[in-house]
Amino acid sequence: MNAGYLRQLRPSGALKTIVSDRINNQQCQKIVIDYSSPNIGKQFHVGNLRSTLIGKYLDKVHRAIGNQVISVNYLGDWGTQFATIAAYWPKVRPSDSYWDSCSDVEKIRAITDCYVVANKKKRMDENFRDEVRQTFAEMESQIMNGDFSSSTMRLWKDIREISERHLKHFYSLWHYESTYVPGARCLVLRSDQGQSCTENEHRYLGHRSIRRW
């Protein structure tokens, strides 16, 4: 894709104009796009980021050309992954007083660390693998019967609520590139006034120096 074509996409509505010949004779489609979809109890990682960016791009493209889009962020809160955490968590869970003092970010980090250690143990320890399978079988039976009274199901509910709060805050921090233009401009001006950059053919190149602000 050349630079000239990319420049055509910048104005509002340009994409729809470019592809209009291809879609004029087609009916509007209803499309479901499932993207981002992180697991609960785990930190948002680069794989989630990749899915989020590509999914959002496809969402916007299909909306721009007139398709009806249903976006789904399907959180992974069930399965062997969670059973692995549930089976190992009692061995590493901190005291109630310490846990209650932790932020959601700190709690997610601790739960993620639990999963990493437990997953490694599951690969090497057949007895623990059996324990994970048994834990998940019990969870399946309990959810089918609408029984959420066990310690495992209470843990599942707690971790899901922690993860939902954490992810809502995380997603709320995302902005458009234009959001940072004023701040970036101020940073350039401060660098210029502090003589920490030089102008070269109308572009600023930072010196290799460390400055205190």
Q: Are 27 and 46 in contact (CB under 8 A)?
A: no
pLDDT at position 99 is 92
Bigger pLDDT: 18 or 142? 142
pLDDT at position 64 is 79
Q: Are 203 and 188 in contact (CB under 8 A)?
A: no
Q: What tokens were used for 127?
A: 């007895």
Q: What tokens were used for 59?
A: 């969402």
Q: Are 69 and 33 in contact (CB under 8 A)?
A: yes
Give the confidence band of 202 by pLDDT, cuts at 50, 70, 90.
low
Neighbours of 131 (CB within 10 A): 18
What is the rounded average pLDDT of the residues 74-82?
86
Which residues in 46-64 are b (16+ Cβ under 10 Å) and which e?
A: eebeebbeebeeebeebeb
Q: Is pLDDT at 183 greater than 90 in this prediction?
A: no
pLDDT at position 133 is 96
Residue written as tokens 């690969």?
A: 123
Q: Is pLDDT at 66 greater than 60 in this prediction?
A: yes
pLDDT at position 210 is 39
Q: What is the mean pLDDT of the chain?
A: 80
Q: Is pLDDT at 69 greater than 50 in this prediction?
A: yes
Amino acid letter at 92? V
The pLDDT tens digits of the residues spanning 101-143 come to: 999 989 999 999 999 999 999 999 999 999 999 999 999 999 9
pLDDT at position 36 is 86
Residues whose CB falls within 8 Å of the CB of residue 76, separated by 6 or more in sequence, listed in order: 37, 38, 39, 40
Neighbours of 5 (CB within 10 A): 9
pLDDT at position 209 is 43
Nearest C-alpha neighbor of 15 from the set 57, 70, 43: 57
- Say whether pTM exceeds 0.85: no
* Adjacent-strand bridge partners of 128: none
Q: Is pLDDT at 144 greater than 90 in this prediction?
A: yes
